[in-house]
Chain A
Amino acid sequence: ETGVTQSPTHLIKTRGQQVTLRCSSQSGHNTVSWYQQALGQGPQFIFQYYREEENGRGNFPPRFSGLQFPNYSSELNVNALELDDSALYLCASSQTSASSYNEQFFGPGTRLTVL
């Protein structure tokens, strides 16, 4: 069973640029959630994708957008980068079903630095 993978591992951008982060979900999972973790803080929910549609969004501006593909992999896009966007971006995959809960499995993260 392949776990959750993310690319790239590290990324350095400058203010105003755009960035795309990628996530491959665990085999058999149909849901991907994205979290932002600033240095020294807990992860903050950005949004979730289920069956290629956005399924819930946290308190993030529209310049944070995403996609989910038919194979359930996902992209996180951030436009007009700001210094405060520097963080570890975590992707988590899960299987959404009628069961009582859906455990999320996290990838290793992409560390984004905005200069």
Chain B
Amino acid sequence: AQKVTQAQTEISVVEKEDVTLDCVYETRDTTYYLFWYKQPPSGELVFLIRRNSFDEQNEISGRYSWNFQKSTSSFNFTITASQVVDSAVYFCALMRKAAGNKLTFGGGTRVLVKP
């Protein structure tokens, strides 16, 4: 069975602070993909990043960065110099290729950035 855990249910920061969202996953598969999605109040899930299980290279995209560590089954997400527009719920998700591209989501972390 596969599982995604996001231990932080809500994080509140002041604008320009950095915020790190934790994600821990469980799977016995060797080929899988990890995702982060952003869900603003409008409800639509916005794709942020995909990582496959064979690529542990960390990635930076603007103010966003991701740290993938297979040894600890973690795929953490950092927002640097947060802005009010970053306020949303963020979901980490796991896709096992063998499972027909079904996404297993974590419970989400609500980020509130105060001005």
Contact = CB atoms under 8 A, between A and B. Distances in A.
Interface of A: 31, 33, 35, 40-45, 48, 55-56, 58, 88, 90, 92, 94, 96, 100-109, 111
Contacts, number: 65
Contact of A94 (B4, B33, B101): B101
Contacts of A92: 45, 103
B106 A88 contact: no
Between B45, B46, B91, B108, the greatest number of chain A beta carbons within 10 A of the residue's beta carbon is seen for B45
Contact of A43 (B33, B91, B95, B100): B91
Contact of B33 (A35, A101, A106): A101
Nearest to A3: B44
A58 B6 CA distance: 21
B108 A42 contact: yes
B45 A101 contact: no
B43 interface: yes
Contacts of B47: 103, 105-106
Contacts of B103: 33, 35, 43, 45, 92, 104
Given A103-B47, A106-B45, A56 B97 contact: no
B11 to A, nearest CB: 15
Given A42-B108, A103-B50, A106-B45, 7 more contacts: A35-B103, A42-B6, A42-B105, A42-B107, A48-B101, A90-B45, A101-B50
A91 B99 CA distance: 18
B102 interface: yes
